[in-house]
Chain A
Amino acid sequence: MIGIEHFLYVEDIEILVYIFTVISGAIFIYGLYRSYRRWFRKGEKPSFDNFWTRLYNLVKYGLLQRKVVYRPFEGSMHLLIYIGFIILFIGTLIRAFEADITLKFLGYRVVSGSSYLIYKLFLNIGGLLAIIGIIIAFIRRIFLKSENLPDTLSDYLLLLLLLIILITGFVLDGISTLAYRYEWVNNYDFIGLYIADLFKNVENIEIIYRVTWLIHMALAIFSVGFIPYTKLYHIIVGGILNTFFSRNYHPAAFKKIENIDEIIEKGETPGALTLNDLSWKERMDYDACIKCARCTDNCPAASSGKPLSPMDLMLKMRSFIDQGIYNKELIPDYLDKDIIWSCVTCGACVYQCPLLIHHVETILDFRRGLIGKGENVPEELLEVSYNLMRYGNPMGNDPINREEFIKELVDEGLVEIAEEGSEYDYIYWIGCQSTYDPADKEIARSLLKILKKAGLKIAVLPEENCCGEPARRIGDELMFSELVKMNGEILSKYKFKRLVVNCPHGYNIFKHEYPLYGVKIEVIHHTQLLNELIRKGLVKLDGGKIDKKITYHDPCYLGRWNNIFDEPRNILKEVVKNEYLVEMRHNRERSFCCGGGGGHLFFDIKIGERISKIRMNEALETGASILAVACPYCKIMLHSEAGEKIKVMDISEILAEALTEKK
């Protein structure tokens, strides 16, 4: 008979398997119940809407681990262990199913003959992959740790536990082979055969088998039972739950605050001060973290020595749940306010997290809570809030300056002021920085020059408020909702196909956040539009090449959050020779923030290095003499670090210059 000999040498203690399984199962189920209690505090229910999208996310990010492999080395290590154990787990299930059900009640074998041989081969391969993976994991822990990877004894013990389960498994396999399949199993059991040879002349093989079996069986069964209490819980909370229940809105839309007026009427504040104020999904996030530190390794705040480490924040939040302090205000007694204010909302953590944790959402919720209370908020940001309320822009510029600037642009024949009733292809939303900041004004002027040359019918609005992005990022949700209402009303007065913005922050908020609040606008970033015009031949550049080395800085809100990487580069390819276009150390999805996001254009956490300086050094490393940007925030931040060697220019400025040179 070619098949499994169940309970070889251990038939008399078979019952232990069932006893252990029941105990372990109970421990496991209690662990899940405990988690349910941790997450669902106020009678919330898990959401199953958009079921198929959720399932898709589970398959893509959980089963297929799309993000785990972002880091090839660690990703491969994980994949080896993951695939190995999946195979072994399925193999064990088949074995149990055959022994306890089909064979017992139907006298039928699930695997026999050739299917058994293939089954055996798979288990050999699975075990081998897992062992290789674990050896790599040890090597990584000892020699190749990433900067912020937590490294405790328990991390090693867990690897050791898995390794013992695997090795004892192979020992059992080898002795079984010796006992009944040595002659016929061939290389389908290549490891088993090898081990069988080792045991050929060993005495008391039955006792060795029984002891090994007990160890293997008990460790395997209980390590499953204890999953909810160890780091292995990431399999369930991270891989399965957090992917399935992941947010079904764009990650750069951030959480919608429902019924803000009602909240204020009740005398409450939007956002969070306590654990209970956060959503169940946010609490699930904290339990999902596997401490891989990819977030912190990529966080500009952490890299520059600020108090924020996204991973540590998640773990701290988890420890607050452990301590059961659901109703205490966490800042400043448990959590340093600077942790919350250090974030530039660049999204590197969210992008990197293999388990779809949204760190920034928690940070923004705390900011809303703090702004609501008006305490533990940097004074400069209270000023931003106040300026928005009073002047309609975060810097506190007199709106009359806008009128003057618009008049200049109109007088130069670059643009007209939109009129109600007229139809426009494009309305250009200039945005606060490009309206008021002396350096950023040139972005607006250059852009309009190019658009005029391309023959576009374009207008600017007679009035324009802040789009609300700074308000939302610093947690002033009420101000934001007011601005959405006002701007929605203004925009609804005019007929246009698309709204052009040159600020990625505005782009993001119009594209992802306004729709949550009922304002839907077709918005396009100027790099997209310029690229489109070049492709259509409306902007012609033949011969107009700039003879300087250029490197391009991906703005977080254009690149990583919105996947616009190629359009700006395509434009640059038109104005410089390919060999002059160089990339920085961090580029595209892994771009490094200029330091100006999340309200940081308006204030500074004076701890550690300046993020803008780190980024500027990366630009200087390339030897480029022009640092191209596509965001007025980036321009201000990087320009202030530029010095003599490098010039910071928006893509529209570079393109406008190339067009003039052509003449």
Chain B
Amino acid sequence: MDIGVLVKASLDGNMIRADPDGRINIENTPLLISEYDRNAVVEAARIKSEVGGKIYVYTLLTWGPTKKKKKELENVVREALALGGDEAYAVVDDRVIPCDVTSTAYILSNLIKKFGNPELILAGEASMDMLSSQMPIRLARHLGYNVVTFARKIELSDNKIRVTRDLEDKLEVVETSLPAVISVTGEINRPKLPTLLQIRKAFAKPFKVVGLDELELEDTGRKISYSDLRLITITRKNVIIEADKLEDIADILIDKLIEEGVVRV
């Protein structure tokens, strides 16, 4: 069974560049593979090891300028390939940048139908920069697939897919059938970071970049407004907990968290 994985080149939260007025300087902020997408690729590789098939990596460049960011997108894709992807397809087109989630879902659905058209699509629960979590649902709608979000466990049997969903305060087990889009949480596995050597080896894997024309699509017209993206500086509390025994440290920490209202008893 072939599996598709959605991978996003997100703005790297560790390397945010902002202009003096606090506006995020997108051009100079490097892109990084969205963290949970790593989980999705690794989960796809696990499923593949059980049922065989191919793993297609799909992506779309949402941040510009295209010239500068295309290279960074390529690095993100190579990383996904190094983690287990077999083939990759990317949309890079000036006309859609900066692309919002509605357009991205629409364009990706066309990309997926045209290349590989797998019955199972995995995605990270959210992208690291926009965190809307809408992508899997919108994509499923366009493709006409079932959708399950926030999966921390996926079990395949005959025609059924059993998914354990992580709903913050409880786990929910649901069943669905193919074709389906499933988004996974960070708890589903522990992806290993790929080394440069593995990424270099992934250069041998097929990787195709297309524009809107090749997908026979028009400019979708929905874009993110730049001026909305601002840097907010938060000062951390910097509390250092000291005690001799690990258990004591844990106790103090729990008390503090209760005090802050982070943990409810």
Q: Does A372 contact B (CB under 8 A)?
A: yes
Residue contact B15 to A400, C-beta cutoff 8 Å:
yes
Residue contact B14 to A398, C-beta cutoff 8 Å:
yes
Q: Does A382 contact B (CB under 8 A)?
A: yes
Which of A358-366, A475-483, A604-612 binds B? A475-483
Q: Does B160 contact A (CB under 8 A)?
A: no
Q: Does B237 contact A (CB under 8 A)?
A: no
A388: B residues at CB distance < 8 A: 196
Closest Cβ of chain B: how far from A607's Cβ, in Å? 17
Q: Does A389 contact B (CB under 8 A)?
A: yes
Residue contact A482 to B196, C-beta cutoff 8 Å:
yes
| B 1-35 binary contact with A (CB < 8 Å = 1; else 0) | 00000000000001101000000000000001000
Question: A477–B200 Cα gap in the complex (Å)?
Answer: 13
Q: Does A383 contact B (CB under 8 A)?
A: yes
Q: Given A267-B201, A400-B15, A400-B17, check contact A374 B192 (CB 8 Å).
A: yes
B193: A residues at CB distance < 8 A: 379, 382-383, 385-386
Interface size on A, residues (CB 8 A): 26
Closest to B16 in A: A398
Residue contact B200 to A374, C-beta cutoff 8 Å:
no
Closest to A382 in B: B193
Within 8 A of B (CB), among A350-387: 371-372, 374, 377, 379, 382-383, 385-386
| A 220-236 binary contact with B (CB < 8 Å = 1; else 0) | 00000000000000000
Contact of B195 (CB < 8 Å), options: A379, A391, A400, A476: A476
B194: A residues at CB distance < 8 A: 374, 382, 386
Question: A479–B193 Cα gap in the complex (Å)?
Answer: 14
Q: Does A335 contact B (CB under 8 A)?
A: no
A398: B residues at CB distance < 8 A: 14-15
Closest to A482 in B: B196
Within 8 A of A (CB), among B197-211: 197-201, 204
Residue contact A478 to B197, C-beta cutoff 8 Å:
yes
B192: A residues at CB distance < 8 A: 374, 377, 379, 382
Closest Cβ of chain A: how far from B12's Cβ, in Å? 8
A476: B residues at CB distance < 8 A: 195-197
Question: A385–B195 Cα gap in the complex (Å)?
Answer: 6
Q: Given A379-B192, A382-B192, A398-B15, check contact A371 B197 (CB 8 Å).
A: yes
Within 8 A of B (CB), among A477-510: 477-479, 482
Residue contact B201 to A264, C-beta cutoff 8 Å:
yes
Closest to A398 in B: B15
Closest Cβ of chain B: how far from A596's Cβ, in Å? 22
A385: B residues at CB distance < 8 A: 193, 195-196
Question: A400–B194 Cα gap in the complex (Å)?
Answer: 24
Residue contact A390 to B197, C-beta cutoff 8 Å:
no
Closest to B190 in A: A379
B201: A residues at CB distance < 8 A: 264, 267
Total cross-chain contacts (CB, 8 A): 55
Closest Cβ of chain B: how far from A571's Cβ, in Å? 35
Closest Cβ of chain A: how far from B46's Cβ, in Å? 15
Q: Given A396-B14, A398-B14, A400-B17, check contact A389 B197 (CB 8 Å).
A: no
| B 168-196 binary contact with A (CB < 8 Å = 1; else 0) | 00000000000000000000001011111
Question: A34–B201 Cα gap in the complex (Å)?
Answer: 39
Within 8 A of A (CB), among B64-84: none
Closest Cβ of chain A: how far from B78's Cβ, in Å? 11
Within 8 A of A (CB), among B147-174: none
Interface of A is mostly: helix
Q: Given A264-B200, A398-B15, check contact A371 B32 (CB 8 Å).
A: no
Q: Does A551 contact B (CB under 8 A)?
A: no
Contact of A478 (CB < 8 Å), options: B17, B190, B196: B196
Residue contact B197 to A372, C-beta cutoff 8 Å:
yes
Question: A478–B201 Cα gap in the complex (Å)?
Answer: 11
Question: A270–B204 Cα gap in the complex (Å)?
Answer: 18
Closest Cβ of chain A: how far from B178's Cβ, in Å? 31
Q: Does A434 contact B (CB under 8 A)?
A: no
Closest to B194 in A: A374
A390: B residues at CB distance < 8 A: 32
B199: A residues at CB distance < 8 A: 389
Q: Does A345 contact B (CB under 8 A)?
A: no
A264: B residues at CB distance < 8 A: 197, 200-201
Q: Does A269 contact B (CB under 8 A)?
A: yes
Question: A398–B13 Cα gap in the complex (Å)?
Answer: 10
Closest to A474 in B: B195
Closest to B197 in A: A478
A383: B residues at CB distance < 8 A: 193
B195: A residues at CB distance < 8 A: 371-372, 374, 382, 385-386, 476, 478-479
Question: A214–B78 Cα gap in the complex (Å)?
Answer: 75
Question: A479–B198 Cα gap in the complex (Å)?
Answer: 11
Residue contact A389 to B196, C-beta cutoff 8 Å:
yes
A371: B residues at CB distance < 8 A: 195, 197
Closest to B28 in A: A400
Closest Cβ of chain B: how far from A121's Cβ, in Å? 65
Residue contact B14 to A269, C-beta cutoff 8 Å:
no
Closest Cβ of chain B: how far from A487's Cβ, in Å? 15
Question: A270–B201 Cα gap in the complex (Å)?
Answer: 13
Question: A269–B198 Cα gap in the complex (Å)?
Answer: 9
Within 8 A of B (CB), among A559-610: none
Interface centre among B190, B196, B199, by most chain A C-beta atoms within 10 angstroms, is B196
Closest Cβ of chain A: how far from B38's Cβ, in Å? 11
| A 268-290 binary contact with B (CB < 8 Å = 1; else 0) | 01100000000000000000000
B204: A residues at CB distance < 8 A: 267
Closest Cβ of chain B: how far from A488's Cβ, in Å? 17
Interface centre among A371, A379, A389, by most chain B C-beta atoms within 10 angstroms, is A389
Question: A377–B198 Cα gap in the complex (Å)?
Answer: 14
Residue contact B198 to A374, C-beta cutoff 8 Å:
yes
Closest Cβ of chain A: how far from B125's Cβ, in Å? 21
Question: A371–B198 Cα gap in the complex (Å)?
Answer: 9
Closest to B14 in A: A398
Closest Cβ of chain B: how far from A394's Cβ, in Å? 13
Question: A465–B132 Cα gap in the complex (Å)?
Answer: 35
Closest Cβ of chain A: how far from B199's Cβ, in Å? 8
Closest Cβ of chain A: how far from B236's Cβ, in Å? 15
Question: A374–B194 Cα gap in the complex (Å)?
Answer: 7
Closest Cβ of chain B: how far from A161's Cβ, in Å? 51
Question: A390–B32 Cα gap in the complex (Å)?
Answer: 9
Closest Cβ of chain A: how far from B132's Cβ, in Å? 25
Q: A383-B193, A386-B193, A476-B196 are in contact. List 15 more A-B contacts (CB 8 A).
A: A264-B200, A264-B201, A267-B201, A269-B197, A270-B197, A371-B195, A372-B197, A379-B193, A382-B193, A386-B194, A386-B195, A388-B196, A389-B199, A400-B15, A478-B195
Interface residues of A (CB under 8 A from B): 264, 267, 269-270, 371-372, 374, 377, 379, 382-383, 385-386, 388-391, 396, 398-400, 476-479, 482
- 25 contacts across the A-B interface (CB closer than 8 A): A264-B201, A267-B204, A270-B197, A374-B195, A374-B197, A374-B198, A377-B192, A382-B192, A382-B194, A382-B195, A383-B193, A385-B193, A385-B195, A386-B193, A386-B195, A391-B14, A396-B14, A398-B14, A400-B15, A476-B196, A476-B197, A477-B197, A478-B196, A478-B200, A479-B195
Top 9 closest pairs, chain A to chain B, by CB = A386-B193, A382-B193, A478-B197, A479-B196, A385-B195, A478-B196, A398-B15, A389-B196, A372-B197
Interface residues of B (CB under 8 A from A): 14-15, 17, 32, 190, 192-201, 204
